[in-house]
Amino acid sequence: MLVELVAWAGIQADPAARRLGYAKAAVSLWSRRRRCHRAWAGHEQQTREFALSIAQACRHRDTAWLLGGGTLADLPLAELSALFKRVVIFDIVWLASARRRAKQFPNVELRQADVTGMVAPLAEWRAGLPLPIPSMRALAELDSVPPDCVLSLNLLSQLPLLPMEYVQKHGVSRVGAESFGRAILQMHLDALQGMSCPVGLVADARRIWRSRAGETVMSENALLGLSLPTPQREWRWPVAPRGEIDNETSLDITVQASRWDGAGSGR
């Protein structure tokens, strides 16, 4: 489609991200949201409200980090820009539409970054060699200024998907790829829980496929078997209404939102 070609033309992504498929995934997300924006509206509003509740509770309001920008539709940009002196949003790929929207706020910065630290090493990795080891340093070293608030929004379950797909294409078994994916997920959770400032996490917890009649056809953990911290909120996201996958099946996601007060103490 013409609109997708336009989106492709405005992508900012480095060669390693393109090689692993992140540019394609960003356009796919943007395109799916255009088709499903009505179905996604409630989920995006819930995400914005939860993110804002974390930000408003912060005692110090110099710098906020947002991990996972995407289309920016689920971020309360205007409110965060008013609350903090500086808002830095990290994602591995940026579309032109997101860059245009962010320019409305002079203290909002879009930073092209890999929050896992895995993409560049994987682009250089060769079959038969040990896989890179996820490190918590990838998150801590995103910026030289320590944050006063960190929000990881609708990102966690996506982190291992393209790395797993990439290593499987290069000969790693499904079991090995899933073990690698769990390590990436655990690294992100551990890094968030180790932050010394308030942290908010919004993440997929469960995927549920339903029939035309609304009956559950299949249900699976969205995090390769890992569990999320005790949530403060939970809601349903109709990510793929019937007709998006096929005419008989829809996909819902159970989303959970959790928070920590910082210094590694859970709430």
Give, for all 267 residues of the chain, the pLDDT tens digit.
Answer: 545 554 555 689 999 999 999 999 999 998 998 998 999 999 999 999 999 999 999 999 999 999 999 899 999 999 999 999 999 999 999 999 999 999 999 999 999 999 999 999 999 999 989 999 998 889 989 999 999 999 999 999 999 999 999 999 999 999 999 999 999 999 999 999 999 999 999 999 999 999 998 899 999 999 999 999 999 999 999 999 988 888 899 999 999 999 998 754 433
**Record: fold of 2-200:** Rossmann fold (3.40.50)
**Any residues with CB less than 8 A from the CB of 168 and at least 6 apart, and which?**
174, 177
CB 29, CB 70: distance < 8 Å? yes
Record the pTM: 0.93
**Amino acid letter for position 62:** D
Sign for the CA dihedral angle at 184, 170, 32, 92 comes to positive
User: 192: closest CA among 229, 143, 145, 232?
Assistant: 229
CB 140, CB 192: distance < 8 Å? no
